[in-house]
C-alpha cells in the first residue's frame, strides 16, 4: 500500500484540476464498495479518462486511467458489469501501469546536438532577430498513441519529421499550437510569463480538435527543457526574446475522417525581435467585409492552424491595401469587431474606460488580453468586455470618443492601431500614433515580464536547470 499512498499524491493533483472541470464531486457520491481490496471505485458516466479508487483507511483517492482499467478487465481481475474489482496484486500492477500511461513524469531523454551553433554565431543570430526565421539547435518531442498514452519524451537536435503522404494532419488539419516567450532578465536569469495559462489553453484547443490533452506538467516540462538546453539563444534587451512554439499534430497514416489515434507534440524555439518589422509607432489595419475568421460553434476560441490558414486570404488583401493586419468582424452580421489575425483588440474611450470584445467563443482568449484587463483594473481603469460595432468605432474615432486603440498578443505585445482602412475608405484614431495609455499598459506588462517590476501575481516563472535522463 505504500505505493498507493505515494501515488495518490499525484492523483490529488489530477483530481483537483479534473474535478473542477467535470463536476466530479457529484459523481463521487455514487461510490460502490469493492472487494477484496480496501477500495471504492467510482466509474464516471462522463467523458473522462480516469476512474477513482478511494482507499478505506487512507480515505484518499487515487485516479486510475480507464485504459488501465480495461486491461484489468481483460485479465479477468474485475467483475464484468458494474464497477470493476481488483485483486491486491493487480492493484500494484495497476498503479505501476498508470504511472506510465496516465501521469508520466516530465523526464526527457537527452540527445545533444552533435554540432551545436558556436557561441559567436549565436550572438550574431540573436542580435537583430527577424520574427520566426532563425531557430535554435534543439527541439522537444513527446508522442501519444491510443492505448499507450504519452510516451517517448525527448530533447534532441532540431530535425525534420519524416511524414507519410497519408499522414492525417496533411489531409484533415488536426493541428494545434501555442505561442509564448522566454525573457532574459538583467541578472541573466531566464523566465517565462504565465506558462501555465498556455498549458491550459493548449488542453482546451486539444479538446476542441478531438486530440489528446497533454497534462500541464508535461507541457511545462517540455517548454522548460527546451529553454534550458538552448538558454544561450535567449536574447537580452527590450523588445527581444526567445519565442516558443509548442504544437501538436495527428501523425497516423489513415484517410478515414475521424480523430487520429497517434499524435506528436513538439516544441521549437526562435529568437525574435518586434513582430512588426517596420518599427512604426502604430500599425494600420484592414477591415475585411468579405472574409471572416470564425463562426459561432466553430474553432475561433481554439489555437488551431486551420484558423490561421483561413485568415491568410484576408491578410493578403490587407497587404495589398498597404495594411499590416486584418481586423475581423463577426461572421453572422459583419458588424461586431472580434479580433485581429493574431492579436486581441482594446479601445480607450474618452471617459478613460477600456473596452474589449467579450470572449464569445469566436475569438482567442488571449493571455495578454487577460493580463492587460487585470493590470488596467488595478490601475483604476474600468474595463468593459462588451461588443463594439465597426460603425461605432468609425464614428467614435471621428468624434474623439475613441482616443486610442491597440492590439495585444504574445508576438505583438501591445501595439497601437493608428489607422483603419476598409472598402468604403479610411479613418484615423487619435493623431494616428501611439497613445499615452497604450504606452503605459505596455510598460506595465513588459516590466513584469522582464523582471523590472515586482511580480505580485506570481505570473513569472524562472527556468531552472532541468532534470533530463541520458539519451539512448
In angstroms, the CA 131 to CA 175 distance is 21
| DSSP-derived 3-state class of residue 177 | strand
Question: Least separation, in Å, of the C-beta of 179 and ligand PLP?
Answer: 4
DSSP label at residue 145: E
Query: In the complex with ligand PLP, which residue's Cβ is closer, 248 or 251?
Result: 248
Does residue 343 interact with ligand PLP by CB under 6 A? yes
The region of 145-153, 367-375, 428-436, 458-466 touching ligand PLP under the rule CB under 6 A is: 367-375
Does residue 324 interact with ligand PLP by CB under 6 A? no
Query: In the complex with ligand COI, which residue's Cβ is closer, 179 or 236?
Result: 179
Q: How many Cβ atoms from other residues are within 10 Å of residue 382's Cβ?
A: 12
The three three-digit cell numbers of residue 79, written as one number: 467483475
Question: Least separation, in Å, of the C-beta of 436 and ligand COI?
Answer: 24
Distances (CA, A) of 337 to 12, 32, 190, 287: 42, 52, 36, 9
Query: In the complex with ligand COI, which residue's Cβ is closer, 218 or 272?
Result: 272
- What is the residue-wise DSSP string for 30-86? S-EEETTTTEEEE--SSS-SEEEEEETTT--EEEEEHHHHHHHHHTT-S-SSSS---
In angstroms, the CA 222 to CA 215 distance is 11
Contact positions with ligand PLP (CB under 6 A) in 259-278:
none
**CB burial class (10 A; 0-12, 13-18, 19+) of residue 323?**
buried
Query: In the complex with ligand PLP, which residue's Cβ is closer, 93 or 461?
Result: 461
Rounded to 5 degrees, φ, ψ at 311 are -90, -10
In angstroms, the CA 47 to CA 183 distance is 38
DSSP label at residue 96: H
Does residue 129 interact with ligand PLP by CB under 6 A? no
Does residue 348 interact with ligand PLP by CB under 6 A? no
Does residue 410 interact with ligand COI by CB under 6 A? yes
Query: In the complex with ligand PLP, which residue's Cβ is closer, 283 or 364?
Result: 364
- Paired residues of 53 in beta bridges: 41, 62
- Exactly one of 368, 415, 438, 466 binds ligand PLP (CB under 6 A); which one? 368
Does residue 430 interact with ligand COI by CB under 6 A? no
In angstroms, the CA 134 to CA 24 distance is 46
The region of 205-213, 225-233, 312-320, 365-373 touching ligand PLP under the rule CB under 6 A is: 365-373
339 binds, among ligand COI, ligand PLP, none (CB under 5 to 8 A by kind): ligand PLP
Question: Least separation, in Å, of the C-beta of 51 and ligand PLP?
Answer: 34
The contacts of residue 450 (CB under 8 Å, 6+ apart) are 183, 185, 186, 238
| DSSP-derived 3-state class of residue 413 | strand
Contact positions with ligand COI (CB under 6 A) in 176-195:
179
Does residue 357 interact with ligand COI by CB under 6 A? no
Does residue 205 interact with ligand PLP by CB under 6 A? no
306 binds, among ligand PLP, ligand COI, none (CB under 5 to 8 A by kind): none
Question: Least separation, in Å, of the C-beta of 412 and ligand PLP?
Answer: 8
End-to-end CA distance of the chain: 33
Q: What is the CA radius of gyration of the chain?
A: 25
- Exactly one of 215, 235, 409, 435 binds ligand PLP (CB under 6 A); which one? 409
Site string for ligand COI, 42-61 (x = CB under 6 A): --------------------
Question: Least separation, in Å, of the C-beta of 364 and ligand COI?
Answer: 9
Query: In the complex with ligand COI, which residue's Cβ is closer, 235 or 342?
Result: 342
Question: Least separation, in Å, of the C-beta of 109 and ligand PLP?
Answer: 30
Helix axes 88-101, 2-22, angle to 10 degrees: 60
282 binds, among ligand COI, ligand PLP, none (CB under 5 to 8 A by kind): none
Does residue 367 interact with ligand PLP by CB under 6 A? yes
Does residue 342 interact with ligand PLP by CB under 6 A? yes
Q: Which residues of 18-50 are buried (b: 16+ CB within 10 A; e: fewer)?
A: bbeeeebeebbeebeebeebbbbbbbbeeebbb
**CB burial class (10 A; 0-12, 13-18, 19+) of residue 57?**
exposed
Question: Least separation, in Å, of the C-beta of 456 and ligand COI?
Answer: 25
Sign of CA dihedral 183, 184, 185, 189: positive
Give me the residue whose beta carbon is nearest to ligand COI: 179
Does residue 242 interact with ligand PLP by CB under 6 A? no
- Paired residues of 40 in beta bridges: 33, 54
The region of 108-116, 126-134, 341-349, 378-386 touching ligand PLP under the rule CB under 6 A is: 341-349
Binding site for ligand PLP (CB under 6 A): 179, 339, 342-344, 364, 366-369, 409-410
Binding residues for ligand COI (CB under 6 A)? 179, 342, 409-411
Amino acid at each position: 500500500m505504500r505505493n498507493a499512498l505515494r501515488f495518490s499524491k499525484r492523483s490529488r493533483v489530477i483530481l483537483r484540476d479534473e474535478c473542477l472541470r467535470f463536476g466530479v464531486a457529484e459523481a463521487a457520491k455514487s461510490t460502490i464498495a469493492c472487494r477484496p481490496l480496501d477500495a471504492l471505485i467510482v466509474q464516471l458516466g462522463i467523458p473522462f479518462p480516469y476512474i477513482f479508487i478511494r482507499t478505506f483507511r487512507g480515505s484518499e483517492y487515487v485516479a486510475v486511467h480507464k485504459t488501465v482499467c480495461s486491461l484489468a478487465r481483460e485479465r479477468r481481475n474485475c467483475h464484468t458489469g458494474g464497477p470493476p474489482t481488483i485483486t491486491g496484486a493487480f492493484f500494484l500492477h495497476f498503479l505501476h501501469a498508470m504511472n506510465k500511461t496516465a501521469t508520466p513524469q516530465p523526464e526527457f531523454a537527452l540527445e545533444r546536438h552533435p554540432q551545436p551553433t558556436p557561441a559567436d554565431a549565436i550572438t550574431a543570430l540573436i542580435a537583430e532577430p527577424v520574427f520566426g526565421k532563425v531557430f535554435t539547435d534543439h527541439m522537444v518531442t513527446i508522442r501519444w498513441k491510443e492505448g499507450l498514452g504519452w510516451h517517448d519524451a525527448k530533447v534532441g537536435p532540431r530535425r525534420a519529421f519524416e511524414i507519410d503522404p497519408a499522414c492525417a494532419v496533411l489531409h484533415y488539419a488536426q493541428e494545434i499550437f501555442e505561442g509564448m516567450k522566454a525573457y532574459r532578465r538583467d541578472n541573466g536569469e531566464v523566465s517565462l510569463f504565465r506558462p501555465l495559462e498556455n498549458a491550459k489553453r493548449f488542453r482546451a484547443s486539444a479538446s476542441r480538435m478531438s486530440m489528446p490533452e497533454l497534462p500541464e506538467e508535461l507541457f511545462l516540462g517540455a517548454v522548460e527543457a527546451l529553454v534550458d538546453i538552448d538558454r544561450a539563444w535567449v536574447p537580452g534587451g527590450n523588445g527581444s526574446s526567445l519565442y516558443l512554439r509548442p504544437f501538436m499534430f495527428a501523425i497516423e497514416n489513415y484517410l478515414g475522417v475521424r480523430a487520429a489515434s497517434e499524435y506528436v507534440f513538439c516544441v521549437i524555439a526562435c529568437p525574435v525581435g518586434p513582430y512588426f518589422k517596420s518599427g512604426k509607432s502604430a500599425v494600420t489595419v484592414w477591415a475585411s467585409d468579405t472574409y471572416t475568421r470564425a463562426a459561432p460553434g466553430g474553432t475561433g476560441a481554439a489555437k488551431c492552424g486551420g484558423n490561421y490558414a483561413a485568415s491568410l486570404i484576408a491578410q493578403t488583401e490587407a497587404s495589398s491595401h498597404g495594411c499590416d493586419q486584418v481586423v475581423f468582424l463577426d461572421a453572422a452580421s459583419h458588424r461586431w469587431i472580434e479580433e485581429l489575425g493574431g492579436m486581441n483588440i482594446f479601445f480607450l474611450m474618452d471617459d478613460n474606460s477600456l473596452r474589449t470584445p467579450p470572449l464569445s467563443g469566436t475569438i482567442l482568449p488571449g493571455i495578454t488580453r487577460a493580463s492587460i484587463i487585470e493590470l488596467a483594473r488595478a490601475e483604476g481603469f474600468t474595463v468593459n468586455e462588451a461588443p463594439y460595432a465597426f460603425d461605432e468605432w468609425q464614428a467614435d474615432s471621428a468624434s474623439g470618443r475613441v482616443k486610442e486603440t491597440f492590439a495585444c498578443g504574445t508576438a505583438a505585445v501591445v501595439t497601437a492601431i493608428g489607422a483603419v482602412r476598409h472598402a468604403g475608405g479610411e479613418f484615423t484614431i487619435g493623431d494616428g500614433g501611439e497613445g499615452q495609455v497604450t504606452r503605459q499598459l505596455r510598460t506595465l506588462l513588459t516590466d513584469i515580464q522582464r523582471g523590472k517590476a515586482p511580480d505580485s501575481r506570481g505570473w513569472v516563472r524562472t527556468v531552472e536547470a532541468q532534470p533530463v535522463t541520458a539519451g539512448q
